[in-house]
Amino acid sequence: VQLVESGGGLVQAGGSLRLSCAASGSSFRIRINAMRWYRQAPGSQRELVASLTRGGLANYADSVKGRFTISRDNAKNTVYLQMNSLKPEDTAIYYCNLEDASDGLHYYWGQGTQVTVSS
């Protein structure tokens, strides 16, 4: 399974971006438990931003609640992260993560996409 993120870039504070994460490869043999977005700022640990379970339950970090929305398009094997009202502190590399439960638990990561919010 390969995950490819896109949609990052440079935006002014208050602006919006939509990140995409497309799964390809052996996706038809996997059983997706959840898909998540993480981010990692320079000098900081990777943190969970948003998650979306197989059943459609979404959860968000307190820092992004009300501003970010995670969604998916099952037909395209793609998960999205709509980010509104962006703040400079949202600047980080954003990573997509897929939890596969087809044979035990396996986790796949994308390569990351840079989001930079200028003040």
- The pLDDT of residue 55 is 92
Residues contacting residue 97 through CB under 8 Å, at least 6 positions apart: 3, 35, 36, 37, 38, 107, 108, 109, 110
Q: Could you count the other beta carbons within 10 Å of the beta carbon of residue 71?
A: 14
Question: Structure tokens of 40?
Answer: 């990692």
pLDDT for residue 104 is more than 70 = yes
What is the percentage of the chain residues whose pLDDT exceeds 90?
A: 79
Query: Rounded distance, CA 48 to CA 68, Å?
Result: 12
Q: pLDDT tens across 38-80, in order?
A: 999 999 999 999 999 999 999 999 999 999 999 999 888 899 9
Q: pLDDT tens across 16-26, in order?
A: 999 999 988 76
Residues contacting residue 17 through CB under 8 Å, at least 6 positions apart: 7, 8, 9, 11, 83, 86, 115
Question: Structure tokens of 78?
Answer: 């793609």
